[in-house]
């Protein structure tokens, strides 16, 4: 997914913020699930990816590099580096 963000920024000229929103909240809307997933809000399912970056804009900067330190699905840790 991080590589897709890189492609969206370099080839589609999206900003990192636009690419992240397109892949999270807008993706949830496309699936008809925006009331349950896609953003960090009270009452929504806790699906998070904790990245090892100083700033969110660094996520698409390094093409093909995995920055994920921890993945949380439904509030439970499913991956930890």
What is the chain's pLDDT, residue by residue, as a tens digit (81 residues)?
899 999 999 999 999 999 999 999 999 999 999 999 999 999 999 899 999 999 999 999 988 889 999 999 999 999 999
Report how many domains make up the chain.
1
Read off the pTM: 0.83
Mind giving me the DSSP string for 15-80?
-HHHHHHHHTHHHHHHTT-TTTSSS--TTS---EEEE--SSGGGTTTSTT---EEEEEETTEEEEE
Domain limits for position 9: 2-80
């Amino acid at each position: 997914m991080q590589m897709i963000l890189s492609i969206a920024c370099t080839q589609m000229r999206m900003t990192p913020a636009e690419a992240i929103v397109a892949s999270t909240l807008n993706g949830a809307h496309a699936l008809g699930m925006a009331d349950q997933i896609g953003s960090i809000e009270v009452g929504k399912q806790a699906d998070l990816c904790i990245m090892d970056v100083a700033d969110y804009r660094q996520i698409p900067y390094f093409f093909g590099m995995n920055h994920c330190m921890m993945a949380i699905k439904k509030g439970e840790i499913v991956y930890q580096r």
